[in-house]
Amino acid sequence: MKYKALLFLVFFIAGCASTTLKNQSGIDRKQLLLMPQSMVVNMANDGYRSALREAAKKNKLNVDSTHVNRVKRISNKLIANATYFKPESSQWPWEINVEDNDEVNAYCMPGGKIMVYSGLIRKLNATDDELAAVIGHEISHALREHGRERMSTAAVQQLGLLGFAAYISNSSNQNRANATMQAASLGATLFFVLPNSRTQEREADAIGLELAARSGFNPFAAVSLWGKMKKQDTKKPPEFLSSHPSDDNRIRELTDLAFKLKPIYESNRSR
């Protein structure tokens, strides 16, 4: 048994690495990457194709050429500078689409599959710089392979909970065992999964802002954007129960980072 544990420990350590190069934002955290990258990208591609089919079926895919052209123009500028953080991203089959959807949202799946919802443009009356902040943030999730990391983390968490369940299954008091298992699951979520997600969100904020600045977009637009986002949703849970940083903390951190990245923006704003 101890040899299996040692083997798992070696495998665990070997799966830790940073997915992006050192950068001005200071993001260089070692990540848990046990899942094969090819598997994650293939799963993402399947999910993206499914989303495109559903949107097309409802006549919601790329219906406004003005929105589509604008999103593609902004995204392509960001993509051109993604190699600064991850050189192999130049080989990704990037794809950019816009769904006619009132939701204020956007995403970039592993491997560079971008989707922007039209609600993000309409409801926020977003400027080009603000759209670049959102799209840059989502691209950064893909560059940092956060999806792959979350899958790896979930696998380790599940393994740990299964082991704990086996340990307490011998308890004579089954009700107590069930309650203990529920508490362990909640604890894993609050103290392991959610904080890790908040770390990923902060990393995407930081790299996304630097990516935008290097692409000639004003990093301070992220501050105005999140001011608008804050007005959109007033029913968010406390930060310790959320996978995202609180709006106030996010705005404060983005402001500090925007000042730090201002020289990079100034040197690239004419591009």
In our burial notation (b when 16+ CB lie closer than 10 A, e otherwise), range 41-53 reads bebbbeebeebbe
Residue 255 has pLDDT above 50, yes or no: yes
Residue 118 has pLDDT above 50, yes or no: yes
The residue with greater pLDDT, 37 or 1, is: 37
Residue 53 has pLDDT above 80, yes or no: yes
Catalytic residue selected from 138, 145, 149, 203 = 138
The residue with greater pLDDT, 237 or 117, is: 117
Confirm whether 88 is a catalytic residue.
no
pLDDT on residue 12? 47
Mean pLDDT of 115-123: 96
pLDDT on residue 170? 57
What is the dihedral sign for C-alpha 86, 90, 93, 95?
positive
| C-alpha pair distances (Å), 215 with each of 59, 88, 107, 114 | 32, 18, 19, 17
Largest Cα–Cα separation, the chain: 72
Domain boundaries of the chain, sorted by first residue: 17-149+191-268
Q: Which stretches within 169-246 are classed as H helix? A: 174-188, 194-214, 221-232
- Judged by DSSP in three states, 6 sits in helix
pLDDT on residue 179? 53
Q: How wide is the angle at C-alpha 142 spanned by C-alphas 264 and 218, nearest 5°?
A: 25
Is residue 230 within 8 Å of residue 219, measured between CB atoms? no
The pTM of the full predicted model, rounded to 2 decimals, is 0.79
64-86 confidence digits (pLDDT tens): 999 999 999 999 999 999 999 99
